């Protein structure tokens, strides 16, 4: 008898190209395509948001509908479907929960109900879509309760009894903590589930903890972050839970989409360029200066770019203290992102203080991000913590050298430059400190201006680095098989 392909259902609250607020969408949109190419029967399920990409919203096809019991409520659940790059994506339709002007939060106080509904919909949809997976792969707090419900309420049902679960942490800081009584009433969890070894969390219920406790295996998005989250510094109060499950905790580095981010074919950049010769990089640099109103005439300054959320996690506080010192160097700083009002004000003042040398765009703009990667010389990521990070890998793809703090996926993906051997992919610093940040920039500038041969060698090495999804997808398949 021929072996059937492994069946995997990925449950996620967002996925590219349909809806994106962060890195989870990149993973949920690209990992399944890589898995499919390796022979896995993989499908994805996510909410149908009204604000999803209009290009796809009208193309979804209705598959079925049914009702879901949620406490005393009986809620409509529609399932719509779309095939993208050979992968089937299912969309959970309920306008009351998802036809809003936001993906998360938005001033609403019913997040437990919205994603409690979605968690249950993932399981209830299986007989209607005729797909019971070997592995149910849940992601972040929005699907953490799915793993708990499977074990608490569905395990005795024949079709569900053989399903195993993997829960992936993309950012431990966001946990989905809600009032215990409300969550219990919605999901009928039962009193026995509310103790400190299961769902109870300082008198509340924690959706992410549900995934950590009830999943058969846990993964996170880089090997170093898997170690960091078992410490009090990075464990976000769940380090004891993670240490208790360390035997099933794995770190698998995320990948990037080499087709979407390719300077040879990228239509968003000023000049496409081959990976070996880098002809066209100078055109991209000049075009970026012009687009951002950075000083152009006679400027030999190194362009340092950031594409980031303007938050403390991303290191904006130490960048704030480093700006004046950086401006004493022959550099220009280009920042693309949005976030906390405090940092928006900080960088707006910096633009006024250093006109033509600092440029800022308060927005999320994917095509402009591509031009940042292609036009910059260096890419700065000074994160306080970084589960994986993708931007440092994308920068390498365009021959832009990263400057990163030694944390999480940043140090896993960017081996530091060695002045003696010339090896390495970027420049790193360990302490979360503005002086150390400036020191790393100085080391990069020293090679950039004073050792052109080594700089070109670093660029060549960066362009040869493969952070595509195939290697990571194979590790996920190995993990699926193990569980």
Convert the pLDDT of each residue in 7-43 to its tens digit. Answer: 999 999 999 999 999 889 999 999 999 999 999 999 9
Whether 286 and 244 map to the same domain: the answer is: no
Whether 366 and 392 map to the same domain: the answer is: yes
- Kindly report the average pLDDT of the chain as a whole number: 95
Q: Is residue 201 part of a domain?
A: yes
Q: Mean of the pLDDT values across residues 126-134?
A: 98
Whether 136 and 212 map to the same domain: the answer is: yes
Neighbouring CB atoms inside 10 A of 370's CB total 22
Cβ distance 63 to 80 under 8 Å? yes
Q: Is residue 267 part of a domain?
A: no
Whether 230 and 309 map to the same domain: the answer is: no
Whether 183 and 77 map to the same domain: the answer is: yes
Task: Please report, rounded to a whole number, the percentage of residues in the chain having pLDDT higher than 90.
Answer: 88
* C-alpha–C-alpha distance, residues 409 and 196, integer Å: 30
Whether 477 and 442 map to the same domain: the answer is: no
Phi-psi region of 442 (alpha: psi -120 to 50; beta: other; left: phi over 0): alpha
* Long-range pairs of 264-270 with CB within 8 A, sequence gap ≥ 24: 266/370, 266/374, 268/366, 268/367, 268/368, 268/370, 268/371, 269/370, 269/371, 269/374, 269/375, 270/371, 270/374, 270/375
Cβ distance 427 to 314 under 8 Å? no
Whether 61 and 176 map to the same domain: the answer is: yes
pLDDT tier for residue 296 given thresholds of 50, 70 and 90: confident
Neighbouring CB atoms inside 10 A of 421's CB total 7
Q: Mean of the pLDDT values across residues 175-202?
A: 87
pLDDT tier for residue 192 given thresholds of 50, 70 and 90: confident
Beta carbons within 8 Å of 234's beta carbon, 6+ residues apart: 172, 225, 228, 385
pLDDT at 234: 97
Q: How many residues does the chain have?
A: 483
Q: Is residue 403 part of a domain?
A: yes
Q: Mean of the pLDDT values across residues 307-317?
A: 95
Whether 226 and 341 map to the same domain: the answer is: no
Per-residue model confidence as pLDDT tens digits over 96-114: 999 999 999 877 779 999 9
* C-alpha–C-alpha distance, residues 210 and 193, integer Å: 10
User: What is the model's pTM?
Assistant: 0.94
* C-alpha–C-alpha distance, residues 19 and 26, integer Å: 10
Whether 30 and 60 map to the same domain: the answer is: yes
Per-residue model confidence as pLDDT tens digits over 206-235: 999 999 999 999 999 999 999 999 999 999
pLDDT at 441: 98
Q: Is residue 260 part of a domain?
A: no
Whether 182 and 232 map to the same domain: the answer is: yes
Per-residue model confidence as pLDDT tens digits over 407-457: 999 999 999 999 999 899 999 999 999 999 999 999 999 999 999 999 999
Whether 299 and 238 map to the same domain: the answer is: no
- Per-residue pLDDT for 1 more than 50? no
Which range marks the domain in which residue 334 is found?
281-464
Whether 231 and 156 map to the same domain: the answer is: yes
Beta carbons within 8 Å of 25's beta carbon, 6+ residues apart: 12, 14, 15, 16, 19
Q: Is residue 270 part of a domain?
A: no
Domain count, the chain: 2
* C-alpha–C-alpha distance, residues 432 and 475, integer Å: 31
pLDDT tier for residue 121 given thresholds of 50, 70 and 90: very high
Q: Mean of the pLDDT values across residues 360-389?
A: 96
Q: Is residue 217 part of a domain?
A: yes
CATH number at residue 140: 3.40.50.2000
* C-alpha–C-alpha distance, residues 49 and 101, integer Å: 9
User: How far is residue 115 CA from its own chain's centroid?
Assistant: 19
Task: Please report, rounded to a whole number, the percentage of residues in the chain having pLDDT higher than 70.
Answer: 99
- Per-residue pLDDT for 245 more than 80? yes
Q: Is residue 112 part of a domain?
A: yes
Q: Is residue 2 part of a domain?
A: no
* C-alpha–C-alpha distance, residues 16 and 23, integer Å: 9
């Amino acid at each position: 008898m021929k072996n059937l392909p492994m069946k995997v259902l990925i449950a996620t609250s967002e996925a590219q190209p349909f809806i994106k607020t962060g890195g989870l969408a990149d993973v949920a949109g690209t990992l399944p395509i890589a898995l499919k190419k390796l022979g896995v029967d993989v499908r994805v399920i996510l909410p149908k948001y009204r604000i999803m990409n209009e290009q796809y919203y009208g193309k979804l096809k209705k598959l079925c509908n049914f009702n879901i019991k949620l406490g005393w409520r009986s809620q409509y659940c529609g399932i719509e479907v779309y095939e993208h790059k050979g992968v089937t994506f299912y969309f959970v339709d309920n306008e009351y929960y998802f036809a809003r002007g936001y993906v998360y939060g938005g001033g609403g106080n019913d997040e437990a109900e919205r994603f409690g509904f979605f968690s249950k919909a993932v399981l209830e949809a299986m007989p209607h879509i005729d797909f019971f997976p070997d592995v149910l792969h849940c992601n972040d707090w929005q699907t953490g309760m799915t793993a708990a419900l499977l074990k608490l309420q569905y395990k005795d049902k024949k079709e569900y009894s053989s399903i195993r679960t993997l829960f992936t942490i993309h950012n431990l800081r966001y946990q989905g903590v809600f009032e215990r009584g409300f969550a219990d009433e919605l999901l009928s969890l039962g009193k026995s589930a509310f103790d400190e070894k299961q769902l109870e969390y300082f008198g509340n219920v924690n959706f992410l903890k549900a995934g950590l406790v009830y999943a058969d295996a846990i993964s996170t998005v880089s090997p170093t972050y898997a170690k960091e989250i078992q410490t009090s510094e990075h464990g976000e109060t769940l380090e004891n839970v993670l240490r208790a499950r360390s035997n099933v905790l794995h770190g698998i580095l995320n990948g990037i989409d080499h087709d979407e981010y390719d300077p040879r074919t990228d239509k968003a950049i000023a000049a496409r360029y081959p990976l070996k010769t880098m002809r066209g990089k100078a055109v991209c640099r000049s075009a970026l200066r012009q687009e951002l109103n950075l000083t152009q005439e006679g400027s030999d300054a190194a362009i340092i770019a950031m594409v980031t959320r303007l938050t403390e996690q991303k290191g904006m506080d130490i960048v704030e203290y480093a700006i004046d010192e950086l401006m004493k160097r022959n550099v220009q700083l280009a920042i693309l992102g949005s976030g906390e009002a405090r940092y928006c004000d900080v960088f707006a003042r910096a633009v006024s203080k250093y006109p033509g040398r600092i440029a800022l765009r308060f927005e999320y703009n994917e095509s402009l991000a591509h031009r940042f990667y292609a036009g910059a010389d260096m890419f700065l990521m000074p994160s306080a913590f970084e589960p994986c990070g993708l931007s440092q890998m994308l920068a390498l793809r365009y021959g832009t050298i990263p400057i990163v703090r030694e944390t999480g996926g940043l140090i896993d993906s960017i081996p530091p430059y060695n002045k003696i051997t010339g090896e390495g992919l970027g420049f790193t610093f360990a302490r979360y400190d503005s002086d150390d940040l400036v020191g790393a920039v100085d080391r990069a500038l020293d090679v950039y201006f004073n050792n052109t041969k080594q700089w070109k060698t670093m660029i060549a090495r960066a362009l040869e680095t493969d952070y595509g999804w195939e290697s990571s997808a194979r590790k996920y398949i190995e993990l699926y098989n193990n569980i």
